Amino acid sequence: MQEALMEPIHYIKQLFPKLIALRRYLHQHPEIGFEEYNTNKFINKILSSLNEIEIIPQVANTGVIAKINVNKHYKTLAFRADIDALPIQDKKEVTYKSLYEGFSHSCGHDVHTTILLGTILTLIKYKNQLRCNLIFIFQPAEEGPGGAKPILEFIQPDQIDMILGLHVLPHLPTGYIAASEGLAMGASSKININLCGEARHIAESVHDENLIYLSSELLILLKNAEKTFKETHKDFLFSIGTINGGYYYNTTADEITMTGTIRSFSHQTNKSFFEYIKNNIANSHLKTLIPKINIDFENMYPPLYNDNEAIQLIKASASKVLGTKNIVPAWKVLGADDFSFYTEKIKGGYFWLGTHKYGEIAYDLHSPYFDVDENCIFYGTLVLSQIALDYF
């Protein structure tokens, strides 16, 4: 592998103010999955100003793919950045807070996008030092319903030798990365529960007919089922994320909907829990009190496995520019990412990028107060650029 090249490091330092501006624009203009139209235009505008790059401006509706073709006999390395935001209000008070009411980049995909753009800007300048072909995937809809699948339908996975991705991590210090071989992230499944009854004036109803009260009893049943299931399944979680229902303060609801997620390290375990709660509901007193209960299950993302060779490449390259002490093991988590669809077909590696500035509060991913130490953009761009320069 090449030693860390000082010229690219200096170039990224010069580029850094521009990258901050790019990130802040994206942060102010968050768009959710498959609706990233402005984000798509923004990425294309930057890429179209460059020479020696092939651009596919619209893939999977709002995605973008860029290529640096060096030599047809070289291996091909791909990088992926997700570009979508979340339907979460931005509550932090900064000059670059979201301009879109009810939407924010509270999972850091604006940072991922900026880092990938910074990597392209750097590697175009140092193309003569590359010993591989490069593909850059700006992917929509990671948060759902999943943009990796339609991207995979477009690209040719058998012509990509390795694919890499990163994600910001708010509790890891800036300047650090975390990476480990093997199982990295969990399998996610979605559950939908629909309760149906009859809307009545509150004066004409009784407690046992009120779906709001009955739904609260169902929540207790589900929580108890989760607790019992965990006794025999170590790495597992279940949570209800939304509850909706009712029309007016003095009228009982005729419908309640709930959505939630099941997480483990296999879809088989998720399916087993779904069947378990179905049986619990069927054998409970709620079955006789609620006129109609529908419960549906959908597998979302498979577990994510990191290839040994890919992780060794990440660690070796990152050590050159960050120092060995700043490379730490990653722990497997029950979060999920549709990057796992790529690693089912392509040798791949996924690592965490530290974003925490010492002395400041580290808000979790998906928090309405989430933000990053923007110096992480410099380090992320530096690591990806070094990986590309090392790969052959």
The H or E element that residue 384 is part of is helix 375-390
Is residue 10 a known part of a binding site? Answer: no
Is residue 201 a known part of a binding site? Answer: no
Distance CA 186, CA 333 (A): 6
Is residue 366 a known part of a binding site? Answer: yes
Task: Compute how many other C-beta atoms are within 10 angstroms of the C-beta atom of residue 151.
Answer: 23
DSSP calls for 275-324: HHHHHHHHTSTHHHHSSEEEEEEEE----EEE-HHHHHHHHHHHHHHH-G
The H or E element that residue 115 is part of is helix 109-125
List the Cα angle 90/93/99 in 5-degree steps. Answer: 50
Give φ, ψ of 4 to 5 degrees: -55, 125
Q: Are strands 177-178 and 327-328 parallel, antiparallel or unpaired?
A: parallel
Distance CA 200, CA 214 (A): 15
C-alpha pair distances (Å), 224 with each of 232, 239, 241, 258: 14, 12, 17, 17
Is residue 109 a known part of a binding site? Answer: yes
- Binding-site residues sit at 107, 109, 143, 167, 366
Q: What residue numbers does the annotated binding site for Mn(2+) cover?
A: 107, 109, 143, 167, 366
